[in-house]
Amino acid sequence: MPDLLPFLKDLLSAPGLSGYEDPAAEIISARWKPLVRELSRGRLGSLHGFRPGSGPEPRPSIMICTHMDAIGLMVTGQTGGFLRITNVGGVDARVLPGQLVTVHGRRDLPAVVAQPPARLLPPEIGENPVPLDSLLLDTGLPPKQVAELVRVGDLVSYAQAPMELAGEVICGHTLDNRVSVAALTICLEELQIRPHVWDVWAVASSQEEVGTIGATASSYELRPSIAITVDVTFAKGPGASDWGTFPLGKGPTNTVGPNIHPALQKAIQDLAEKLEIPCTLEYTPRHTGTDGYATQVSGEGIPTAVIGIPLRYMHTPVEMVAIKDIQRTGRLLAEFIARLEPDFTGKLIWEQE
């Protein structure tokens, strides 16, 4: 996929906050259209791409689930022409002051997140980080014009453009989880020249950041035989522990834990070792915090695996991912799908070694 970066940068520059994913879905749809047989939107906005397998009907199916929604902000009111805000998804208010954003009002408005001077803040804040409800957005417009253009409930997205750093690393907002959408796109590209027996559902889910909502509905609607959720995980960064993080640029992670079917996890790990794709085991002794929970408990239960792409500075405007980790994840997915045998589900016995 030689044009991975242009596609990814377009995707990272689209807003698409949770529940309002259309801008991202349009970019993904255009990219996936020649790669799948059918494209559709679920009732809660998730994008579904279908590639039929070559095996005899009825065929088993695999769903690769990645979420396309982004965290961001929402307007809650106006004070003298300045906008008050709340969060959509998990936003860390400590990183917001001075950030460039776009207010999606009656027309898009550039703005900056402003922190009032300490003497104007509630005294109980003291030296602590300023909470979200004390921050303001400044569009530079007079109060009357702001009132005409912006309403309560309008969305606010980060406005910084993605940037390539040294060492084949990309930095910006919304890499969580659109780098996984890019990895799935690489997988679909490779399947163009790789026959596969199983049907494939490629899913860019909605509203993951506010409760794995889109994937819950899509899993129930599509009822795949097995599912692999691809999301980001915590990369090693400043002050981070070695046991709770994973190296950047050293391949994806393969999750182990109660959210994961052990036989499916082992099959992925065995294949990664066979292909010499670095793949670190990630131990998650509870809910993974990803769409993997939604896929696992849908219907009668769907055997699920979770693959993680290491990412630094999660849920900030300067998230960071190694490009090679995206590529390796896409290749591993494609190889796994292409090697699925018709009777694979019969081997999925819930046994821990």
Query: In this structure, are 99 and 221 located in the same domain?
Result: no
Which range of residues forms the domain containing residue 95? 72-158
pLDDT at 278: 97
Look at residue 203 in the predicted model and tell me its pLDDT.
Answer: 98
Residue 314 lies inside a defined structural domain of this protein: yes
Is 353 part of any domain? no
Q: Is residue 165 part of a domain?
A: no
How large is the average pLDDT for residues 229-255?
A: 92
Window from 113-122, 180-189, 262-271 with minimum mean pLDDT: 113-122
Residue range 212-227: mean pLDDT, rounded: 97
Domain edge (last residue) among 93, 128, 158: 158
Residue 202 CA from chain centroid, whole number:
14
Residue 294 in domain: yes
Mean pLDDT (the chain) is: 95
168 inside domain: no
16 within some domain = yes
Lowest mean pLDDT among 77-81, 115-119, 313-317: 115-119
- The answer on pLDDT for 116 being more than 90 is no
pLDDT at 86: 97
- The residue from 134, 158, 182 where one domain ends is 158
Q: What is the mean pLDDT of residues 197-215?
A: 98
Segment 20-34, tens digit of pLDDT: 999 999 999 999 999
Domain boundary among 132, 158, 184: 158
Residue in this structure with the two tokens 């992670």, named with its chain if needed? 253
Residue 12's pLDDT is 96
Domain harbouring 49, CATH code: 3.40.630.10
Regarding whether 284 and 177 lie in a shared domain, the answer is yes
The pLDDT score that the predictor gives to residue 119 is: 77
In sequence order, what DSSP letters do the residues of 77-128 get, joined into one string?
Answer: EEETTEEEEEEESS--GGG-TT-EEEEESSSEEEEEEE---GGGS-GGGTTS
pLDDT (0 to 100) of residue 141:
98
Contact indicator for 111, 101 with CB cutoff of 8 Å: yes
For the segment 114-129, the average pLDDT, to the nearest whole number, is: 81
Residues 190, 56 share a domain: yes
Q: Is residue 351 part of a domain?
A: no
86 & 47 share domain: no
Which stretches of 122-238 are DSSP H helices?
143-149, 175-191, 213-222
Distance (Å, whole) CA 320 – CA 312: 5
- Helices 4-13 and 175-191, axial angle in degrees (round to 10): 140
Same-domain pairing of 9 and 95: no
- 195 pLDDT above the threshold of 60: yes
pLDDT category of residue 239 using cuts at 50, 70 and 90: confident
Do 66 and 76 share a structural domain? no
Q: Are 77 and 56 in the same domain?
A: no
pLDDT for position 88: 98
Residue 2, pLDDT above cutoff 60 = no
> Helices 323-338 and 175-191 sit at what angle, rounded to 10 degrees?
40
pLDDT tens readout for residues 39-96: 999 999 999 999 999 999 999 999 999 999 999 999 999 999 999 999 999 999 999 9
- How many domains does the chain divide into? 2
Angle, helices 262-275 vs 323-338, to 10°: value is 110
Residue 302 and residue 177 share a domain: yes
Query: With 70 as the cut, is the pLDDT of residue 352 above it?
Result: no
Return d(Cα 327, Cα 330) in angstroms, integer. 5
Q: Is residue 163 part of a domain?
A: no
The two structure tokens encoding residue 161: 């453009």
Domain identity same for 59 and 78? no
The percentage of residues in the chain with a pLDDT greater than 70, rounded to a whole number, is 99
CATH of the domain at 111: 2.40.30.40
Residue 151 sits in the same domain as residue 187: no
Residue 1 has pLDDT above 80, yes or no: no
Residue 74: the pLDDT is: 98
Instruction: Kindly state whether residues 31 and 12 are assigned to the same domain.
Output: yes
Round to whole Å and give the CA distance between 292 and 333: 15
Comparing 60 with 125, the larger pLDDT belongs to 60
pLDDT of 288 above 80: yes
Q: What is the pLDDT of residue 240?
A: 77
DSSP result, 29-95: HHHHGGG-SEEEE-TTS-EEEEE--SSPSSPPEEEEEEE--B-EEEEEEEETTEEEEEEESS--GGG
**Pair (91, 21) in one structural domain:** no
**CB-based contacts of 253, cutoff 8 Å, min separation 6:** 233, 246, 279, 280, 281, 282, 307, 308, 309, 310
> What does the pLDDT average to over 150-174?
96
